[in-house]
Amino acid sequence: MAYEVILLTTMAIMVLFALSLNVITGFCGQVSLGHAAFYGIGAYVGAMLTKAGWPLLIALLPAAGIAGLIGFFVGLMSLRVRHDFLAITTMGIAFLFVGFVRKQEWLGGEIGISGIPAFGFGRIGLLVVALACAGLFAAVTVYLKRSWMGFGFDSIADDEDTARILGIDVPRFKLWAFVIGTAGAGVAGALYAHHVRYIGPDSFGFVESVTVLAMVIIGGIGSVWAVALAAAVLSVLPLWFQFIDDYKLLIYGLLVFAVMRFSPNGIAGALQSFRRRLR
C-alpha cells in the first residue's frame, strides 16, 4: 500500500508541474526551458517554512506567491524576446537558480536541505493534498482555456503580431501566463520537497526543465487532459521499470522525436485524428 501511495503522489505532483508549464507554453506559446527553477523556488520556500514550524498547507501559499512573483519579473524581462531567444532566456534562469542555491549556505549550499518535516497527516494525507492541488489547477486551466483570457492566449500563440493588431494587450496576457504557470510550479515544488523530504540544487536543473517540457509535447501542447495523462504515465514509468531510469532522457527524446514527426499535436492530436477516421 505504501508503494502505491508513493507512486500516486509522484504522479499527482508531476501532473501539476506539467500543467503549470502548459499554461505558459501550451496556452500562450511561450517556450520555457527554465521551468524547473520555479519548481525549485517552491520547494525551497516550502522546506524552509515548514522547518521553521509552518504547517505545509499554509506554506503552500508563500511557495506559490514567491514563485509567481519571480515569474512576473522573468515575464517582464522576456517581453522583448521571442521564440529561440525566449527559450535561451528562460534556460538562463534555470542555470542562474542552480548557481545561486549552490552558493547560499543558509539554503544548504551544495549539500541541500535534509530532514524536511513529514506532513502531519502522513503519506496518505500528502497524497490527498497533492491530488487536490493537481485537480484544482487542472480545473482552473480548463476554465482559463474556455474564458476570454484563453482566447487571448490562443491568439498570441497563433500569431503575436496579429493579436496585437486586433487590440489584444499582449504584454499583459504574457505576464498572466507566466504568473499563473510559475505559481503552479511553486506549489508542485513545495509538495515535492515534502514528498521526498530532501532537496538539493541538482533536483531542479536543466534536465528537469527539459523533462517536463517533453511531457507537455508528448501529451499535446495546449491540451489539459492529454498533458496530465502524459505526465502521469511518464513520471511513474522509471519507478515501475527500474532499467528505464538509466535511459530516461533517451526514451523521452525518442518519444518527442516520434511525436513531432508523426503527430505534432501529441496524444491529443493522434486521438482526434483517430476519431475523424472513425466518423
pLDDT tens by residue, 221-234: 888 989 999 899 88
pLDDT confidence of residue 245: 64
pLDDT confidence of residue 168: 86
Coil, strand or helix: which one is 121? coil
Query: Does pLDDT of 55 surpass 80?
Result: yes
Residue 44 lies in a domain: yes
pLDDT tens by residue, 233-244: 888 877 666 666
Residue 74 lies in a domain: yes
pLDDT confidence of residue 112: 87
Are 65 and 183 in contact by the 8 Å Cβ rule? The answer is yes
Residue 63 lies in a domain: yes
For 82, the grid coordinates are 521571442
Residue 43 lies in a domain: yes
Q: How far apart are CA 227 and CA 173, in angstroms?
A: 22
pLDDT tens by residue, 138-173: 999 999 988 888 888 888 888 888 888 888 888 899
Mean pLDDT of 114-127: 88
Mean pLDDT of 60-71: 96
Q: What domain count does the chain have?
A: 1
Q: What angle do CA 34, 37, 40 make, to 5 degrees?
A: 150
Q: State what percent of residues in the chain have pLDDT above 90.
A: 40
Rounded to the nearest 10 degrees, the angle between the axes of helix 224-240 and helix 206-219 is: 120
Range of 157's domain? 2-208
**Sign of the four-CA dihedral 84, 86, 89, 94:** negative
Q: How far apart are CA 225 and CA 69, in angstroms?
A: 27
Give the CA dihedral 223, 226, 228, 234, nearest 10 degrees: -130
Q: How far apart are CA 114 and CA 116, in angstroms?
A: 6
Mean pLDDT of 192-197: 93
Are 219 and 18 in contact by the 8 Å Cβ rule? The answer is yes
Residue 222 lies in a domain: no
pLDDT confidence of residue 210: 86
Query: Does pLDDT of 86 surpass 70?
Result: yes
DSSP string, 64-76: HHHHHHHHHHHHH
First to last CA, the chain: 43
The three-state (H, E, C) secondary structure of 152-192, written as one string: HHHHHHHCHHHHHHCCCCHHHHHHHHHHHHHHHHHHHHHHH
pLDDT tens by residue, 206-215: 888 888 998 9
Residue 265 lies in a domain: no
pLDDT confidence of residue 104: 87
* Alpha-carbon distance values, 229 to 11, 248, 272 (Å): 10, 17, 15
Residue 114 lies in a domain: yes
pLDDT confidence of residue 276: 75
Q: How far apart are CA 159 and CA 232, in angstroms?
A: 31
User: Which of 221, 19, 220 minimizes the C-alpha distance to 139?
Assistant: 19
pLDDT confidence of residue 122: 85
Q: How far apart are CA 117 and CA 130, in angstroms?
A: 16
Residue 243 lies in a domain: no
> How confident is residue 259, by pLDDT bands cut at 50, 70 and 90?
confident
pLDDT confidence of residue 242: 62
Query: Does pLDDT of 115 surpass 80?
Result: yes
Query: Does pLDDT of 11 surpass 70?
Result: yes
pLDDT confidence of residue 176: 93
